[in-house]
């Protein structure tokens, strides 16, 4: 620690001494106060100069917590991907350092939440302060958004990428900011899921929820019940070949998300949306009709038998295996649209499943219908269609995740000319997805009951990354801001100008976003 402080001290002295030889710094295109950051930070103060990022820049991090060093490596890798520069992390001895980025573990009382960060950008140094590596990770997303694609081309022998100077203090509005991907209606490969996670992380999402089972397919290997994948994974909407994740692949996705400080939430939807499971093991079926593979898009026709003990032993195995490979605190048990389950059976079922989820050390999340049951306050209701059930859940002490379909369902079409998507919750143009306030959306729902927001992407009409991206982007970017930034910063005119400037990033990531006519997209 002492050596590190000394090295840093000498680095800073050298920075001062080297000042006179500095090459001329031209101002960057933007000033910090007008930089197109999404989500918009709480507080930004511009100092109208710039840090010149170049090949001699080094990254240092606090080393007491190894996760800080990993954040430094992540930053180095993303800079390499964007600019081709190879910046060392904690490698140099600190001598002759001209420019440094320091990712610092700080115990400042101003850092109030685990994801809070401060970013101080001066001519020769950038400091990212955070209490936790998660906070540091959010901070470096802001830094990534400030790095221009183009260097200062007047200095061809020594290019500098100019980052506007100043100070940012930032923290999220909600501790839960999620995106759901339905990998059941159509299967998405590990690489496709990772690409989605990457883009979500750039906009400071901290949760990825995977909808792993539905009538049309079962997508995760369960070693004690092999037919779930031998039989249940082979279908998808429209008759494609389906697919599933082995437990090793699932763990790989979990780790990929964790490396981006994102929690993965697995969902097994039940007692409805369960045709693929019952097709694999017919004793589960409670709707009394013969089972057939299902590749259509209807909902509400399947159910598990809520009266059979064997159904609960099966679920104990399934939930146990998934919980064992899921480090996050949550297990999502679905619970939506169980139209052919009798009400009393439904309530009995949800209450039993909640106990099984808890036995395996997780908190249960369920779609808003679960609020009919008598649940433990540690469980969480996810609002999608009935505000009154969110209020009921809150009255019983449960926290609520807001996913109102008419705002956050990015599987809805944008407008009458856009491709893909459904329309049952209405058309959702980019401004409609953005123009709402999660804190006041449900009248009578106390602010303290809101855990956060989530944007679901159901996949009846999409089956690959290009189609996924078309529906998700740009709407998911606006929802990121609603989950993070104070309501007073969320104004459409200001947001839409910043959104227009995401083009270089979206192009660099080869994102097939919908070029909504509401946005004056930047020409590259």
* Residues identified as active-site: 337
Q: Write out the two tokens for 93.
A: 């001895």
Smallest distance, Å, CB 411 to ligand TNX? Answer: 5
Among 187, 458, 495, 514, binds ligand TNX (CB under 6 A): 458
From the list 321, 411, 454, 481, which residue makes contact with ligand TNX (rule: CB under 6 A)?
411
Count Cβ atoms within 10 A of the Cβ of residue 373 and give its class: 0-12 exposed, 13-18 middle, 19 or more buried: buried
User: Contact 380/401 with Cβ under 8 angstroms?
Assistant: yes
Q: How far is the CB of 199 from ligand TNX (least distance, A)?
A: 21
CA distance linking residue 366 with residue 381, whole number of Å: 5
Reported as type and span, the H/E element at residue 126 is strand 125-130
Angstrom distance (rounded) from CA 71 to CA 512: 28
Q: Which of 60, 176, 367, 473 binds ligand TNX (CB under 6 A)?
A: 367
| Contact with ligand TNX (CB under 6 A) among 409, 420, 470, 505 | 409
The phi-psi region of residue 82 (left if phi > 0; otherwise alpha if psi is between -120 and 50; otherwise beta) is alpha
Burial of 252 (0-12, 13-18, 19+ CB in 10 A): middle
67, 190, 299, 509: which one binds ligand TNX (CB under 6 A)? 299
Between 130 and 442, name the residue whose CB sits nearer to ligand TNX.
442
Does residue 236 bind ligand TNX (CB under 6 A)? no
- Of the two residues 18 and 347, which places its CB atom closer to ligand TNX in the complex? 347
Who contacts 196 (Cβ-Cβ below 8 Å, separation ≥6)? 179, 181, 188, 208, 465, 468, 472
Q: Which two tokens stand for residue 406?
A: 């008419």
Should residue 422 be labelled a site residue for ligand TNX when binding is judged by CB under 6 A?
Answer: yes
Give the helix/strand (H/E) hosting 263.
strand 263-270
Which of residues 462 and 511 has its CB atom nearest to ligand TNX in the complex? 462
Nearer to ligand TNX, 67 or 299 (CB): 299
Distance set, CA 222 to CA 232, 268, 316, 327 (Å): 11, 12, 12, 17
CB of 409 to ligand TNX, least distance (A): 6
Residue 499 C-beta: closest distance to ligand TNX, Å: 24
Q: Which of 120, 101, 97, 102 is nearest to 110 (CA)?
A: 120
Please list every residue from 319 through 348 that binds ligand TNX, using CB under 6 A: 336-337
Cβ distance to ligand TNX smaller for residue 126 or 457:
457
Q: Is 188 in the site for ligand TNX (CB under 6 A)?
A: no
Q: Out of 384, 420, 473, 495, point to the residue binding ligand TNX (CB under 6 A).
A: 384
For ligand TNX, which is the closer residue by CB, 321 or 337? 337
- The residues binding ligand TNX (CB under 6 A) are 299, 336-337, 367, 384, 409, 411, 422, 458, 460
């Amino acid at each position: 620690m002492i050596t590190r402080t000394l090295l840093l001290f000498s680095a800073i002295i050298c920075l001062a001494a080297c000042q006179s030889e500095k090459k001329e710094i031209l101002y960057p295109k933007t000033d910090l106060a007008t930089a197109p950051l999404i989500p918009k930070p709480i507080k930004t103060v511009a100092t109208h100069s710039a840090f010149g990022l170049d090949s001699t820049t080094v990254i240092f991090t606090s080393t007491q917590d190894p996760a800080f060093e990993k954040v430094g490596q992540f930053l180095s890798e993303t800079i390499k991907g964007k600019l081709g520069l190879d910046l060392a992390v904690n490698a140099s001895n600190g001598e002759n350092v001209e420019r440094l980025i320091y990712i610092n573990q700080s115990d400042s009382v101003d850092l109030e939440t685990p994801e809070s960060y401060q970013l101080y950008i001066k001519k020769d140094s950038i400091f990212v302060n955070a209490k936790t590596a998660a906070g540091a990770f959010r901070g470096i997303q802001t830094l990534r958004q400030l790095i221009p694609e183009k260097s200062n081309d007047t200095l061809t022998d020594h290019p500098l990428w100019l980052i506007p100077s100043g100070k940012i203090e930032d923290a999220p509005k909600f501790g839960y900011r999620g995106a759901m991907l339905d990998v059941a209606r159509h299967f998405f490969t590990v690489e496709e899921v990772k690409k989605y996670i990457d883009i979500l992380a750039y906009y400071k999402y901290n949760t990825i929820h995977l909808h792993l089972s539905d009538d049309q397919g079962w997508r995760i290997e369960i070693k004690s019940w092999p037919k779930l994948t031998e039989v249940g994974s082979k279908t998808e909407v429209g008759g494609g070949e389906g697919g599933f994740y082995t437990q090793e692949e699932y763990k790989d996705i979990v780790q990929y998300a964790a490396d981006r400080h994102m929690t993965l939430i697995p969902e097994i939807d039940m007692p409805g949306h369960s045709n693929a499971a019952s097709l694999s093991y017919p004793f589960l079926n409670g709707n009394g009709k013969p089972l057939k593979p299902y590749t259509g898009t209807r909902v509400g026709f399947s159910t598990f038998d809520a009266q059979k003990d064997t159904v609960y032993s099966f679920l104990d195995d399934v939930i146990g295996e998934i919980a064992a490979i899921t480090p996050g605190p949550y297990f999502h048990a679905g619970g939506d649209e169980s139209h052919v389950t009798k009400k009393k059976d439904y309530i009995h079922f949800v209450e039993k499943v909640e106990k099984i989820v808890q036995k395996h050390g997780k908190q249960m999340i369920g779609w808003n219908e679960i609020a009919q049951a008598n649940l433990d306050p540690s469980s969480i209701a996810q609002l999608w269609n009935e505000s009154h059930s969110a209020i009921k859940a809150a009255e019983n002490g449960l926290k609520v995740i807001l996913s109102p379909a008419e705002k956050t369902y990015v599987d809805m079409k944008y407008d009458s000319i856009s491709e893909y998507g459904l329309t049952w919750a209405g058309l959702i143009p980019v401004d409609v997805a953005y123009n709402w306030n999660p804190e006041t959306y449900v009248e009578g729902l106390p602010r303290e009951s809101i855990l956060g927001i989530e944007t679901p992407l159901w996949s009846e009409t999409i089956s690959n990354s290009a189609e996924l991206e078309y529906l998700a982007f740009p709407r998911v970017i606006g929802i990121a801001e609603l989950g993070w930034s104070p309501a007073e910063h969320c104004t459409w005119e200001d947001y839409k100008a910043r959104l227009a400037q995401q083009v270089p990033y979206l192009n660099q990531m080869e994102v097939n976003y919908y070029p909504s006519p509401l946005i004056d997209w930047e020409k590259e």
